[in-house]
Chain A
Amino acid sequence: MSEERTIELLIGPQHPGSGHMRLTAEVDGDLILKFEPNIGYVHRAVEKIAETKTYVQIIPLVERPALPDTANHNLGYVLALEKLLGIEAPPRAQYLRTLLAEINRIHSHLYGIGIHGIFLGSSTMFMWAFADREPFIELAQQLTGARMTYSYIIPGGVRRNLPQDFKVNALKALNYMERRLKDYDKIFVHNPVTVARLSGIGVIKKSDAAKIGIVGPNLRASGIPYDVRKIEPYCVYPDLDFDVVTREEGDSHARLLARIGEIEQSIKIIRQILDKIPEGPIFLESYLKLVSPKMRDEAEKTGIMKFPALFSALRVPKGEASSRVEGGRGEVFYYIISDGSPQPYRFRMVTPSFRNVIAFKYALRGHRLADIPAVYGSLDYFPPEADR
């Protein structure tokens, strides 16, 4: 340490502000000279395991990497699978899928905003955001039976029907959330300390954003109005009316505001879904015919589709298919190659956090040590999702 002016800091896995990854920073005083994210600490080989599992066993496998955002990952996989099978789910099932996806988007964004708050030092924002996830997790539990990893969307439809009192509870939760967003505004989003910490920090310019390929609210906060729900609409998004929240500045504060705006849009979408949902079956007729009559009657009576064992040997026709959906953190991309056997030949899953890793190198150039948590929180990077 005699003649060195710079310090190499390993903000490693055992650090309150790093998550499951290592950030190597070389600092000169307070200024960052070099910055390198080092990921792969939570790599669990999802793609390799998927080659040994049957197609429906992959549904829980695909949900586990991105825990705050499971329904969108589930939906993307099932859409790719349905393209290979050549089927399409009935309209009521499509509405229910979109409902779950939007509920999930709300509590995934609240997770990101809460983590951003604690990284900046505002424990109030952290506690409020995580407490306010609870109404939405309970709504999801009433709909699907599970709190976080639903496995609700299956090829051919969904597993459960809408409960009787769901609409009343959902409207209560949505009204509550709209009131809380005003509180968040006063305590965190437009708090003078937050604005001073976040404005102009971690700017990713519009030309850079497209070049380095970041996705999700990070991309939309840099001025590019790319949202998979508008570009390649799936499920019932063509029939719903919502805006793509875009901001021009590209700094951390813009990313925070983009996420808050998306929560508002999701609330709007859920209200429309609850008004417009049609009656009908929740599972594909041609698959329902393959089930024994006793199970068919039970499904009709209880509204719960028990998973028939016939799916365990589902043989998918030979071919390949790819699909993309808009998850909470960005665009999720699936690519399945099938060779006619019950297991996929190659299963490729590219998650939004993995595509956002490169933003660390671009956004933190020339910034200070204290900006690392501010930018990290604003990118909403989730290490288990990136490492899969």
Chain B
Amino acid sequence: MVFVPLIFPGLLTVTIVIVVLIWFERKLTAKVQLRYGPLYVLKPLGGALQMVADLIKFTFAELIVPKGSDKKAFILAPILLFTLSLLPVIAIPVSSKYAAFFSDLSLLIVLSLLTLTPIFVLLLGWASDNKFSFIGSLREGFMMMAYEIPMFISILAMAVTYDSLDLKHIVETQSSSLWGLILNPLAAIAFFGAMLMTTARYPFDITEAESEIVIGPYTEYSSVIFGLCLGASYVKLYVLSLFFAEVFLGGWNPFGGLESLHPILPGVAVLAKGVIIMGLCVFMRSVYPRYRIDQALRLGWHKLLVLSIVSVVLSLGIVGLGVL
């Protein structure tokens, strides 16, 4: 179907959500830091259209391609990065009757598509002819090593608990029993940590560490493709938040009955829960400094991995005891 990838929860929704989300991040951070934040664009609303102004600025800025760079890769990599970050949305069902396509493996499809994105970040850094971009993209490669395995194992724990790899089935199971967050909080924590790492939220802002490597792989980018680069990490956050809402927070429960009115209404509940998770992730910016790469790797391998394995054991215990 074309509605889901393009309108809801696809391209149009993601544009609106990201415009609001980045404004919210800047406004909330500003309130913590005793300043105003975006103020002038739509003054009665407190600068709410700031991101629209920024997008317009990005669109009309001059696109500079450095001389020594690999031109095809330079321009194509951000476009593919953005597309691939948004693609998993086709596999996420927004209600038990509404999805782009239903599949038994929708959980795996979402996660697997997301693991392909760091490759394009590596390509970004390599294509620009700049030492700082190179180091930044290497850092992204390292970070991928840190969070991949805990992410998959903690989702494995949830798949074991619900005995299914289909997101629709998982949400329907949660309507009759406890939500995933309460059943297996360890998996939720491990997945949340991995989610912060993959979307480069503080304290794991290591790929784009501004005071060390200018802005990492995105240094030489300008205009539209720069907007796509930065937007890609927010799009990944959006997709992962919807995913988190469906696996751990009960999806469209308890509004499943609304689908008799229109099949798409329960999706609004999913979106609302996803927005809460996104707000929590962006709030981290005002609280934490950033970690060093080897500390983040150690965190991923020592703490998150152990936590996720323990969560698998917990899941096995839950299934064995027949709590479900």
Contact = CB atoms under 8 A, between A and B. Distances in A.
Interface in B112-158: 131-132, 134-135
Given A7-B131, A15-B214, A196 B295 contact: yes
Interface stretch (A124-132, A147-155, A336-344): A124-132
Most buried by A among B29, B205, B206, B211: B211
A237 interface: no
A30 B294 contact: yes
Interface stretch (A206-214, A243-251, A366-374): A366-374
B175 to A, nearest CB: 38
A121 B293 contact: no
A124 B33 contact: yes
Contacts of A234: none
Nearest to B292: A370
Contacts of B263: none
A193 B34 contact: no
19 contacts: A9-B132, A16-B210, A118-B211, A119-B211, A121-B202, A121-B205, A121-B289, A121-B290, A124-B286, A124-B287, A131-B33, A187-B287, A193-B203, A193-B288, A194-B289, A197-B295, A368-B292, A369-B135, A370-B212
Contacts of B291: 193, 196-197
A120 interface: yes
Contact of A121 (B33, B209, B213, B294): B209
Contact of A127 (B35, B205, B212): B35
Contact of B34 (A15, A131, A369, A370): A131
A371 B29 contact: no
Nearest to A372: B212
A119 B210 CA distance: 8
B200 to A, nearest CB: 12
Contact of A120 (B206, B289, B293): B289
Contacts of B205: 121
A124 B211 contact: no
A52 to B, nearest CB: 40
Contacts of A124: 29, 32-33, 286-287
Nearest to B211: A17
Interface string A360-379: 00000000111111000000
Contacts of A119: 211
A17 B295 CA distance: 20
Interface residues on B, range: 20 to 34
Contacts of B294: 30, 368
Most buried by B among A123, A125, A128, A131: A123
A179 to B, nearest CB: 14
Contact of B211 (A16, A125, A187): A16
A119 B292 CA distance: 12
A17 B210 contact: yes
A28 to B, nearest CB: 12
A30 B135 CA distance: 9
Interface string A107-121: 000000000011111
A19 to B, nearest CB: 11
Contacts of A312: none
Contacts of B292: 196-197, 368, 370-371
A265 interface: no
Interface of A: 7, 9, 15-17, 30, 117-125, 127-128, 131, 187-188, 191, 193-194, 196-197, 368-373
Interface in B268-297: 285-295
A17 to B, nearest CB: 3
A117 B289 CA distance: 8
B304 to A, nearest CB: 16
B28 to A, nearest CB: 11
Contacts of A120: 211, 289-290
Nearest to B30: A127
A185 to B, nearest CB: 14
Interface in B2-22: none
Interface string B250-278: 00000000000000000000000000000
> What are the nearest 6 A-B pairs in CB distance?
A17-B211, A121-B290, A127-B33, A122-B289, A120-B289, A121-B289
B145 to A, nearest CB: 14
A371 B212 CA distance: 9
B33 A123 contact: yes
Given A193-B203, A368-B292, 10 more contacts: A9-B132, A17-B211, A119-B211, A120-B289, A120-B290, A122-B288, A128-B34, A194-B289, A369-B212, A370-B293
Contacts of A117: 289
Contacts of B33: 123-124, 127-128, 131
A173 to B, nearest CB: 16
A177 to B, nearest CB: 14
Contacts of B203: 121, 193
Nearest to A198: B289
B25 to A, nearest CB: 12
Contacts of B209: 121, 370
Interface string B42-76: 00000000000000000000000000000000000
A128 B35 CA distance: 9
Contacts of B211: 16-17, 118-121, 373
Contacts of B32: 124
Contacts of A371: 292
Contacts of A16: 210-211, 214
Contacts of B295: 196-197
A191 B290 CA distance: 11
A127 to B, nearest CB: 4
B209 to A, nearest CB: 7
Contacts of B287: 124, 187, 191
Most buried by B among A7, A127, A193, A194: A193
B135 A7 contact: yes
Most buried by A among B34, B287, B289, B295: B289
Contacts of B29: 123-124
A9 B290 contact: no
A193 B202 CA distance: 10
A9 B131 contact: yes
A191 B288 contact: yes
B288 to A, nearest CB: 5
